[in-house]
Structure 1
Amino acid sequence: MSSMEEDMIYRRLLLEGDTGGDDKRMTQLLRSILKLSDLSDNGGDGSDSPSEAAYKIITTLNQAETAVRRCTSICDMNANEVQFYEQELSKIEKSIEESKASVESFKEALENAKVVRKHKQAFDSLAQTILKEPARDLSVKRLEAIKGEMEQLHKTEGLLIDEQRDIDRHFKLFTFALAQLKSHLKVKEGKEAETGSADAKQSNDDDEIMEVTPSK
């Protein structure tokens, strides 16, 4: 079976389904032509005249022509619809590609927006930190004041170190003098103790002499 026959069968089934209307009309047309031929040869049998048979043939041909025109119109309509749907499909595919490109562009814009937002948040945080700090002029003045205080503290520290040195020197002298005084007192106490012992011994000797001497 050729492709043309398959196309015809497909169109027939598409238009008529399983009714077989074209086959019936072709069979009826063939019978009408044969009947017209018989009537022409025999002069008619009284049931149908040649004009009636010819009218039936013309009517069948008109119906066949109408069916062919309808079939052609339907085929053209189907072809136009196929072309239309192909164009719509092409448009839809193109729209899908454009949508994909738009989605990618939106994704890239979203990523850029996220980066910009992150940087903005960091900038805002830095700005808040900077605003909490005093102005540069005030900072310079405070720094100069702190430097002055530090210099004064260094001077005071030097004076205190000198005073501490004097105190240490005086304390050493006082300690030395105290040690000398203690040594002198010990020597004096030793001498006094020796003097006391000598006086006590002399007193004891005088007492003994007084006891030995007889009374008058």
Structure 2
Amino acid sequence: MTQTIAEPVSTVASTALKWRRWALVSSPVVAGLLITAASAVDPAVGADGRELYEKYAAETNLQQLHTNLLHWGFGFFGISALFVNGLVRGRGAWLANLAVAFGFAGLITLPGMVSVDFITSGVTQANGAEAMLRADGQIDAMWGIAVFAIPGAIGLIAGPVFGALALMRAGLVRWWAPAAVLVSFLALNFGGFTWWSGALMTVLLATYSLALWNATRTGDHF
């Protein structure tokens, strides 16, 4: 008679799942902190056009720090849209699918688009703000830039919001979780990407992280 011996649960797998959970839970707060830091060091906060180009060219080290922080901040903001898909199996599954679709568009577009700051600074340093203004006009006239940018801008906002709505529909979070995600990004934009609007965003995203922690603490979802 053959005796079957049950294999012990892999501690490696268990640790990996804990890391996966904490990656989901912490990502909104990390996003808020990085975006706040990016706003705080932005040498051209509130500026546009020639003024922005000249300030970035004059403060190139701060511009590079700002752009890198913003790149990663946007990335961490959007990643939760992809994580939640595995948590929602029944009610809310289609909302979770939408979260992945929009989140994908946002993640492959907006975090990378901030690299235009490097081009702006470099062209202005080499040829002056007038040359950058002319180049900007040429870029704005290209139809492809809108096709490239608009889905990403919408996706980075809609993805995390749909993800939170999917969790709410599944009964894993309360209504205030998707509201916090939406209001956080609105606060940042209407606040002009200032340090205080970034701080408000971080507080709101921290409440979403708390909701995610509560939703996943039983271990049934990982």
Greater C-alpha radius of gyration: 1
User: Same fold by TM-score, threshold 0.5 exceeded?
Assistant: no
Instruction: Pick the structure with more helix per residue.
Output: 1
**Structure of greater relative contact order (alpha carbons < 8 Å, 6+ residues apart):** 2
Tell me the TM-score normalized by structure 2: 0.25
Tell me the TM-score normalized by structure 1: 0.26
